[in-house]
């Protein structure tokens, strides 16, 4: 059960599948919260100002992945981990102040490398909903 918010946020940054990471960009330092908790085939977890829901059985019961490869463009550590799901992976934000927000999603393929010929065959298919409305297909 969710409790009342201790404080309201103006932003939310999550490092999906990884440790807490702080990066410096044009706006200054940004800390991405850790998302390293173990999930199972059916999981619903919540933290102070965000939550995660996962459904679907993975063939090997592993729901986070990481890479030690050198990624293009000197990519920061936020691109070296990922959370995956067989059917549905949903993140929820709580305790955000009312207002207009920019939603930025960052993606990088880390499960397959170009050295593996089958890596070009798979497609990543997903829908993104914001406030219950389809935002990206």
For 63-74, the pLDDT digits (tens) are 677 777 666 665
Is residue 94 in a domain? Answer: yes
Is residue 100 in a domain? Answer: yes
Is residue 131 in a domain? Answer: yes
Is residue 47 in a domain? Answer: yes
Cβ atoms 49, 12 nearer than 8 A: yes
Query: What share of the chain in percent tops pLDDT 90?
Result: 15
d(CA 64, CA 88): 14
If one counts the domains in the chain, the total is 1
Is residue 58 in a domain? Answer: yes
Is residue 1 in a domain? Answer: no
Is residue 8 in a domain? Answer: no
Long-range Cβ contact pairs of 1-4 (< 8 A, separation 24 or more): 2/46, 2/94
Cβ atoms 65, 81 nearer than 8 A: yes
Please write the tens of the pLDDT for every residue from 37-96.
Answer: 777 778 888 888 899 888 877 676 666 777 776 666 656 777 888 887 778 888 888 889
Is residue 2 in a domain? Answer: no
- Domain region containing 71: 14-136
């Amino acid at each position: 059960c969710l409790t009342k918010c201790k404080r309201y946020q103006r932003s939310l940054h999550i490092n999906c599948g990884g440790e807490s990471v702080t990066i410096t960009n044009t706006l200054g330092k940004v800390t991405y919260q850790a998302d390293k908790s173990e999930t199972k085939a059916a999981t619903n977890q919540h933290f102070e100002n965000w939550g995660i829901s996962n459904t679907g059985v993975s063939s090997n019961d592993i729901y986070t992945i990481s890479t030690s490869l050198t990624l293009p463009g000197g990519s920061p550590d936020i691109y070296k981990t990922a959370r995956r799901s067989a059917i549905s992976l949903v993140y929820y934000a709580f305790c955000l102040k009312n207002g207009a927000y920019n939603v930025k999603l960052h993606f990088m393929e880390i499960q397959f490398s170009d050295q593996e010929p089958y890596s070009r065959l798979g497609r990543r298919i997903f829908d993104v909903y914001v406030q219950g409305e389809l935002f990206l297909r």
